[in-house]
Amino acid sequence: MFRLTVIYDNKASQGFTESWGFAALIETSSETLLFDTGWDGPLLLRHMKSLNIDPVNIRKLIISHQHWDHIGGLPEVLQVNPGLEVYVPASLSENLKKEIEKRASLIEIKEPIEISQGINSTGELGDKVKEQALVLDTGNGCYVLTGCAHPGLAEILDTVSRYGKVKGIIGGLHDNEEFERLRRMELIAAGHCTTHRERIKQIFPTKFIEIEVGLRLELK
**Closest separation between CB of residue 173 and Zn ion, Å?**
11
- Identify the CA nearest to 144 among candidates 152, 46, 61: 152
- Is residue 88 a contact residue for Zn ion (CB under 5 A)? no
Nearer to Zn ion, 67 or 181 (CB): 67
- Is residue 157 a contact residue for Zn ion (CB under 5 A)? no
Nearer to Zn ion, 40 or 69 (CB): 69
- Is residue 67 a contact residue for Zn ion (CB under 5 A)? yes
State the amino acid at position 123 in one-letter form: G
- By the 8 A CB rule, do 60 and 84 touch? yes
Task: Output the CA–CA distances (angstroms, integers) from residue 27 to 11, 53, 78, 98, 142, in the order listed.
Answer: 22, 10, 19, 28, 15
Which of 69, 124, 137, 155 binds Zn ion (CB under 5 A)? It is 69
Beta strand extents in the chain (DSSP E only): 2-8, 23-27, 32-35, 58-62, 85-89, 105-109, 113-116, 119-121, 134-137, 142-146, 166-172, 187-191, 208-210, 216-219
Which of 44, 148, 157, 170 binds Zn ion (CB under 5 A)? It is 148
Nearer to Zn ion, 137 or 169 (CB): 169
> Which part of the chain contacts Zn ion (CB under 5 A), choosing from 33-41, 50-58, 66-74, 85-93?
66-74
Site for Zn ion, residues 174 to 213, rule: CB under 5 A: 193
Per CB under 5 A, residues contacting Zn ion are 67, 69, 148, 193
